[in-house]
Amino acid sequence: MNTQVDQQQKVLDFIDSPQDLRSLDPAELEILAHELRETIISTVAETGGHLAPSLGVVELTMALHYVFNTPSDKLVWDVGHQAYAHKLLTGRKDRFHTLRRHKGLSGFPKRGESIYDPVETGHSSTSISYSLGMAVAKKLRQEQGKTIAVIGDGSMTAGMAFEALSHAGDLDKDLVVILNDNEMSISPNVGAFSSFLSQRMTGKTIRRLRDHIEERLMSLSSVGENLLSLLRKSEESLKVFLTPGILFEALKFKYVGPIPGHDLDSLIATLTNVRDHNHGPVLVHVITTKGKGYAPAEKNPGAYHGVGPFDIATGKGKSSSPGRPSYTKVFGNTLCTLARRDPRITAITAAMPGGTGLQPFSCEFPDRFFDVGIAEQHAITFAAGLALEGMRPFFAVYSSFMQRSLDQLIHDVCLPNLPVTIALDRSGVVGADGPTHHGVFDLSFLPFIPNLTMMAPKDENELQHMLYTASLHEGPVVLRYPRGTGEGIPLDQELTALAHGRGELLREGSDLLLLPVGNRVYPALTAANELAGLGIQAAVVNPRFIKPLDEELISSWAEQTGRVITIEDNAIQGGFGATVLQMLNQRGISLPLATLGYPDHFIEQGPQEVLWQEAGIDPAGIIRAALKMIQA
């Protein structure tokens, strides 16, 4: 296609599907790459999102859709935070302005959104497993088509990726794995595999080495010509041996690369050859620049991995909450304070030192800071090993990522009753990242574990006291706290250990008991004050400890008021309310009890305030539940 469009139109305006992309000539493809970047930058500047990852794969995305017959060929993005160009090319450009907004486009691939999204993604290192399963299913069903997994070098630090590679090599199916190598995941990559990739030799380096050898051999007699012929025949083997290809070849993959990830001609030619290869799994090693096309993101890709709305000209964020530190920041600062006092304290992250607030700790205590890469399971058992030898490890991790480590927590930490603290950041709904990142299950899948203590602070001041309490406890602790800023409560200068398993009565009342968890305490207090204006006196208890519950305090006020409402930023199924109901039942206390939280379905993206309102766990929702109970 030669668009012959006027200056007011863009090539992107004519792209409604990959079929349209395949009709473009080389010059139009280059223009389209520029337009895709402009659209991504301008949109993310308004909505926030994963900017640098998506900018880094624009040409790769175009080449994949140009060469492969999507959606018949299945394209699986690992994590999915790099899929914005993919969305724009697959019929979603008219809705792209709704990216990550409430009831808008997801920030990640989503099956219900497009036939070009074969899987739901949001967590790392799943793409090869997904793709291998799909490739095997195609074979069993005697269907045509390729499956292509696009995985970043950061995601390759996870054991699951290598489990899938090993299985794929053993099965010898037609699978294509694209290794997007930008030397960066969210933070700089760590681990031996990352070091191995960084030692790669580019095609240019190989050519220089070959040219040098050719010059020397040509100066020799016929022996030199024979050796030169042999060299040319074995050039590909030499390249594989001198690059990370030796690792993938050992896993029975045909290794191709490394190739430049922003050269469309090279990408299209290489992927065409790979597409026509029908003899087992292939890995294509592509070198890209994270943040490509936006200078601030290229200069500091980690800072622009995931961003809020920002000013394009300066790169600076538009929104902030001055004067109110985030829970994450309070956690990081408090842990540094504790580490200055106690040399046993160590900190662990799974590739997210910035996101979990551990960057200051890593600078001040480099010998006691450990980034294990995207390996949450290993992080837990590694922490257990530290604890076995007398250390006090703190593992900071997002609630939704902690889901991967349940077995290790049960078997390796709680069974031997080790003093490991899990700092569970982003508990509750997190906003625009949506269902793959909401931490709305930890109150359901953690409290059942023996030996585990679990706490949730009502504000940032209580958080620092709970951290101190955890540092002194002789057993495993989970400390859950939400995303975002605190309540604006001044921080005490002296840290105080909380009485184990004891809650606090915040407000007396005679008509019902409100039992809010963590960040729902202040909304419950607001509701109680408004109910008082309606003549209803609600007692409010801050449990502090989800496990062990303060059974005496809760039971006493439940019996005094005769009605109980639990409020949690968590799923209702198996959550805090269910725990309270079970406790009251075991104590022979039968009374009306309502549980407020999230219903039995996945919660979509949206501002936290909107999601709290929809779930009825904001002050207005609590008041409605209280009036309904009183009037029943």
**Active site (catalytic) residues:** 290, 376, 404
Strand spans (E) along 158-249: 176-181
Residues 415 and 409: their CA atoms lie apart, in Å, by 8
Burial 60-72 (b: 16+ CB within 10 A, else e): bbbbbbbbbebbe
Residues 388 and 86: their CA atoms lie apart, in Å, by 47
Measure Cα distances from 349 to 292, 371, 411, 443, 573 in Å: 27, 5, 20, 21, 29
H helix intervals, 389-485: 399-402, 406-408, 442-445, 460-472
Residues 458 and 522: their CA atoms lie apart, in Å, by 7
Whether 579 and 447 have beta carbons less than 8 Å apart is answered as yes
Reduce the secondary structure of 46-65 to three states and give it as a string.
Answer: HHCECHHHHHCCHHHHHHHH
278 CA to centre of own chain: 34
Residues 421 and 416: their CA atoms lie apart, in Å, by 14
The tokens describing 532, both together, are 């008082």
* Cβ-based burial of 186 (10 A; exposed 0-12, middle 13-18, buried ≥19): buried
What lies within 8 Å, CB to CB, of 631 at 6+ separation is none
